[in-house]
């Protein structure tokens, strides 16, 4: 069976230790986590966790079942990329010289990014986009000297009227 990346959106009770139960399950059972994002939902009694993981169908099925088995897990949805909108966020500090300044600004512009801080030698840039857009943004900047980079995990929302955390 071939291995693929999968995005799981998990609605959990917003309680102490929940994230540890979840991540412990991955390490204890030898599952991969590529990225993990967690924040409270509109109703702060719950949190939405987005996990990008890797494995064949049987492994993903087990991950999903094991996550479901956690007492604090309310719901799990696996989101195929074609059915959802996914976004990541990146902040990076890039070295700036007189001769590279306009190139860097051009990259920020075409990537629909933003310059969020300026010092004489460093620009702090941000960009929002799907995974490949963010990766491209980084690759474009790399030759200019990325001094520091922080990339968020992925958040996803479905395109249709499937609701992961429904609000009335």
The residue ranges that bind other proteins (CB under 8 A) are 12-13, 16-17, 20-21, 24-25, 28, 58, 61-62, 65-66, 68-74
In the complex, the smallest distance separating the C-beta of residue 72 from other proteins, rounded to whole angstroms, is 5
Identity of the residue, 20 or 102, whose beta carbon is nearer to other proteins in the bound complex: 20
Identity of the residue, 45 or 150, whose beta carbon is nearer to other proteins in the bound complex: 45
Strand partners, 8: 51, 78
Q: What is the 3-state secondary structure (H, E, C) of 57-101?
A: HHHHHHHHHHHHHCCCEEEEEECCHHHEEEEEEEEEEEECCCCCH
Identity of the residue, 70 or 115, whose beta carbon is nearer to other proteins in the bound complex: 70
Q: Is 116 in contact with 89 (CB distance < 8 Å)?
A: no
In the complex, the smallest distance separating the C-beta of residue 109 from other proteins, rounded to whole angstroms, is 45
């Amino acid at each position: 069976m071939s291995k693929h990346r999968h995005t799981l959106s998990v609605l959990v009770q917003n309680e102490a230790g929940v994230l540890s139960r979840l991540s412990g399950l991955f390490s204890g059972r030898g599952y991969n986590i590529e990225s993990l994002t967690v924040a409270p939902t509109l109703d702060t009694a719950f949190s939405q966790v987005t996990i990008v993981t890797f494995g064949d169908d049987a492994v993903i099925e087990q991950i999903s079942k094991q996550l479901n088995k956690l007492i604090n897990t309310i719901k799990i949805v696996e989101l195929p990329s074609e059915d959802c909108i996914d976004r990541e966020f990146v902040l990076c500090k890039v070295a700036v010289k007189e001769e590279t300044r306009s190139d860097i600004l051009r990259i920020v512009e075409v990537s629909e990014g933003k310059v969020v801080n300026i010092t004489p030698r460093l620009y702090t840039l941000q960009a929002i986009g799907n995974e490949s857009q963010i990766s491209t943004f980084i690759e474009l900047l790399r030759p200019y000297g990325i001094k520091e980079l922080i990339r968020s995990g992925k958040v996803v929302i479905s395109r249709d009227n499937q609701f992961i955390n429904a609000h009335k």
